[in-house]
A and B are shown apart, each in its own frame.
Chain A
Amino acid sequence: EDQVTQSPEALRLQEGESSSLNCSYTVSGLRGLFWYRQDPGKGPEFLFTLYSAGEEKEKERLKATLTKKESFLHITAPKPEDSATYLCAVHAATGNTPLVFGKGTRLSVIA
């Protein structure tokens, strides 16, 4: 069964304090790994797609990396506006199986 585990569940950072969020996955052939940001009461907003081990993507203070078993979302010098829940999801290569989401990491950045 395809599974996605995100850690930590919650993370509190001071403004400027860099850190990383983890997404571990087990899937029968990875078709794509996705990172989303979700603000309270809103729909998830797409951030990155990663397709193969070794791939990296960057956007402003965020950088996503991928290995064969996990992905990291690195946040460099975060600001309060980076506070949100970050969701990881995977799509398996077998058939049209649903996108499997992790439960998310709730990030709070304190000024």
Chain B
Amino acid sequence: EAQVTQNPRYLITVTGKKLTVTCSQNMNHEYMSWYRQDPGLGLRQIYYSMNVEVTDKGDVPEGYKVSRKEKRNFPLILESPSPNQTSLYFCASSFRTGNTEAFFGQGTRLTVV
């Protein structure tokens, strides 16, 4: 089954404790991206990657890191999480950038206390 898998689904952590949210897709998609979704603000892109070893900032990259060492994986790293990073996070992938539909993961609800 074609899918984008994120882990964990739920995470509660403390300020400053480094964490990684994993994302994996099994569709051989070139393009992957991370979004956060907040009430009243909608979906905002954090980082995206057009292919292996190619990443770029989206609208709200501050406080986040990503890497793309393999085509299928695109982890999101929070080196020193803060409470304002409490949010619902989605990973997405598509065959290529732009005019092809994106497939989204199930989401990761992160709470930073």
Contacts and interface: CB of A to CB of B under 8 A. Distances in A.
A49 B99 contact: yes
A32 B43 contact: no
Contacts, number: 58
23 contacts: A31-B98, A34-B102, A36-B104, A41-B107, A42-B106, A42-B107, A43-B4, A43-B90, A44-B102, A45-B104, A49-B99, A89-B43, A91-B97, A98-B45, A98-B48, A98-B59, A99-B102, A101-B35, A101-B42, A102-B42, A103-B41, A103-B42, A104-B42
Given A45-B104, A98-B48, A51 B99 contact: yes
B101 A34 contact: yes
A91 B99 contact: yes
A43 B36 CA distance: 11
A47 to B, nearest CB: 9
Nearest to B109: A41
Size range of the chain A interface in the assembly: 20 to 34
Contact of B99 (A31, A36, A43): A31
B64 interface: no
A36 B50 CA distance: 22
Nearest to B47: A98
Given A42-B106, A49-B101, A87-B43, A98 B33 contact: yes
